[in-house]
Structure 1
Amino acid sequence: MPRKLPFSAKRKKQQLRDRRERKRGDAPAGPAPGPGSRSGSHERGGDGPPGDPQAEPAGPPRRHDPGRFRLQLGGPRAEALERSRRRAQEELLEPLPESALELDPDRIYGPGLDFPRRPPWSFGMSAAELREREEGTFGDFLRAMGDIEGLAPFEHNLETWRQLWRVLEMSDVILLIADARHPALSVPPALATHVTQELGKALILILNKVDLTPPAVAVAWCHLLRGHLGVTHVVPFSSAPGPAPTAGLQKRQRKGGGRGRWGRAVGPRELLEACQDVVGGAVDLSSWRARLERAEQRPEDEEDDDDDEEEAEPRGRDEDEDEEGDGGTAPPRQWERFRHGVLTLGCVGLPNAGKSSVLNALLGRSAVGVSRAPGRTRYFQTHYLSASVRLCDCPGLVFPSRAPPELQVLAGVYPISQLQDPYSAVGFLGSHLALPPLLQLRPPSGPGWTAWDLCEAWAEKRGYRTARAARNDVARAANGILRMAAEGRLRLCMTPPGFSQQKDHWERHPDTAAMAAMTGGGATSPPPPGDASTSEDDEGEGSDRATPPPSPAPNPFALLGEGEC
Structure 2
Amino acid sequence: MPRKKPFSVKQKKKQLQDKRERKRGLQDGLRSSSNSRSGSRERREEQTDTSDGESVTHHIRRLNQQPSQGLGPRGYDPNRYRLHFERDSREEVERRKRAAREQVLQPVSAELLVLDIWEVYQPGSVLDFPRRPPWSYEMSKEQLMSQEERSFQEYLGKVHGAYTSEKLSYFEHNLETWRQLWRVLEMSDIVLLITDIRHPVVNFPPALYEYVTGELGLALVLVLNKVDLAPPALVVAWKHYFHQHYPQLHIVLFTSFPRDPRTPQDPSSVLKKSRRRGRGWTRALGPEQLLRACEAITAGKVDLSSWREKIARDVAGATWGNGSGEEEEEEDGPAVLVEQQTDSAMEPTGPTRERYKDGVVTIGCVGFPNVGKSSLINGLVGRKVVSVSRTPGHTRYFQTYFLTPSVKLCDCPGLIFPSLLPRQLQVLAGVYPIAQIQEPYTAVGYLASRIPVQALLHLRHPEAEDPSAEHPWCAWDICEAWAEKRGYKTAKAARNDVYRAANSLLRLALDGRLSLCFQPPGYSEQKGTWESHPETMELVVLQGRVGPAGDEEEEEEEEELSSSCEEEGEEDRDADEEGEGDEDTPTSAPGSSLAARNPYALLGEDEC
TM-score (norm: length of structure 2): 0.76
Distance 1:394 1:21, change over 3 A: farther
Distance 1:474 1:20 in 2: 43
From 439, 443, 446, give the equivalent of 1:428: 446
Partner of 1:284: 303
From 253, 259, 264, give the equivalent of 1:236: 253
Q: Is contact 1:422–1:479 with CA below 8 Å preserved after alignment?
A: yes
Distance 1:122 1:30, change over 3 A: closer
From 34, 39, 62, give the equivalent of 1:27: 34
Partner of 2:283: 264
1:308 aligns with 2:323: no
Partner of 1:99: 111
Count residues in correspondence.
501
Shift of 1:211: 0.2
Distance 1:448 1:370 in 2: 40
Partner of 1:45: none
Give the root-mean-square deviation of aligned CA atoms. Answer: 3.3
Structure 2 residue ranges without an equivalent (≥5): 1-11, 39-70, 320-327, 465-470, 574-590, 592-608
Distance 2:24 2:518 in 1: 45
Distance 2:490 2:270 in 1: 25
Distance 1:393 1:22 in 2: 39
Distance 2:207 2:37 in 1: 44
1:527 aligns with 2:555: yes
- Identity percentage of aligned residues: 48
1:477 aligns with 2:533: no
Q: Deviations over 1:379-409 (max 9, x none)?
A: 0000000000000000000001001100000
Distance 2:329 2:481 in 1: 46
Which amino acid counterpart does residue 219 of structure 2 have in structure 1?
A: A
Q: Is contact 2:397–2:413 with CA below 8 Å preserved after alignment?
A: yes
The worse-fitting range, judged by mean Cα deviation, of 428-437 and 100-109 is 100-109
Shift of 1:290: 0.5
Q: Deviations over 1:459-498 (max 9, x none)?
A: 0011111111111000000000000001111111111111
Shift of 1:315: 3.7
SS at match of 2:105: coil
Partner of 2:420: 402
Distance 2:23 2:116 in 1: 51
Mapping for residues 428-447 of structure 1, pairs under 5 Å: 428-445=446-463, 447=471
1:73 aligns with 2:80: no
Partner of 2:51: none
SS at match of 1:86: helix
Q: Is contact 1:235–1:267 with CA below 8 Å preserved after alignment?
A: yes
SS at match of 1:391: strand
Distance 1:420 1:81 in 2: 7
Distance 1:456 1:542, change over 3 A: closer
Q: Deviations over 1:87-133 (max 9, x none)?
A: 00000000123332111111111131100000011122211111001
1:11 aligns with 2:25: no
Distance 1:541 1:138 in 2: 41
Q: Is contact 2:115–2:521 with CA below 8 Å preserved after alignment?
A: yes
Shift of 1:512: 0.7
Shift of 1:316: 7.5
1:136 aligns with 2:150: yes
SS at match of 2:410: strand
From 545, 559, 568, give the equivalent of 1:538: 568
Mapping for residues 239-258 of structure 1, pairs under 5 Å: 239-242=256-259, 250-252=271-273, 254=275, 256=277
Which amino acid counterpart does residue 526 of structure 2 have in structure 1?
A: Q
SS at match of 1:238: coil
Distance 2:449 2:151 in 1: 41
SS at match of 1:368: coil
Shift of 1:208: 0.3
1:180 aligns with 2:180: no
Partner of 1:362: 380
Q: Deviations over 1:507-554 (max 9, x none)?
A: 1111111111112234113223773244314144499xx9xxxxxxxx
From 281, 292, 296, give the equivalent of 1:273: 292
Structure 1 residue ranges without an equivalent (≥5): 1-5, 32-58, 326-330, 547-565
Shift of 1:321: 5.1
Shift of 1:334: 1.5
SS at match of 2:514: coil
Which amino acid counterpart does residue 83 of structure 1 have in structure 2?
A: R
Which amino acid counterpart does residue 203 of structure 1 have in structure 2?
A: L
Which amino acid counterpart does residue 104 of structure 1 have in structure 2?
A: D
Partner of 1:505: 529
Distance 1:320 1:529 in 2: 51
Distance 1:21 1:488, change over 3 A: farther
TM-score (norm: length of structure 1): 0.82
Mapping for residues 280-429 of structure 1, pairs under 5 Å: 280-300=299-319, 308-309=334-335, 311-312=336-337, 315=339, 334-429=352-447
Which amino acid counterpart does residue 373 of structure 1 have in structure 2?
A: T
Shift of 1:233: 1.4
Q: Looking at CA atoms only, which structure, 1 or 2, has the larger radius of gyration? A: 1
Partner of 2:232: 215
Q: Deviations over 1:239-276 (max 9, x none)?
A: 11238999x9944355547xx51011100001000000
Shift of 1:230: 2.7
Distance 1:29 1:106, change over 3 A: closer
SS at match of 1:146: helix
Distance 1:491 1:501 in 2: 22
Distance 1:18 1:187 in 2: 50
Q: Is contact 1:255–1:542 with CA below 8 Å preserved after alignment?
A: no
Distance 1:426 1:542 in 2: 18
The worse-fitting range, judged by mean Cα deviation, of 72-81 and 161-170 is 72-81
Q: Is contact 1:26–1:64 with CA below 8 Å preserved after alignment?
A: no
SS at match of 2:201: helix
Q: Deviations over 1:411-461 (max 9, x none)?
A: 000110110010010000000000111001013437400000000000001
SS at match of 1:184: coil
SS at match of 1:207: strand
Which amino acid counterpart does residue 98 of structure 2 have in structure 1?
A: R
Mapping for residues 439-478 of structure 1, pairs under 5 Å: 439-445=457-463, 447-478=471-502
Which amino acid counterpart does residue 452 of structure 1 have in structure 2?
A: W
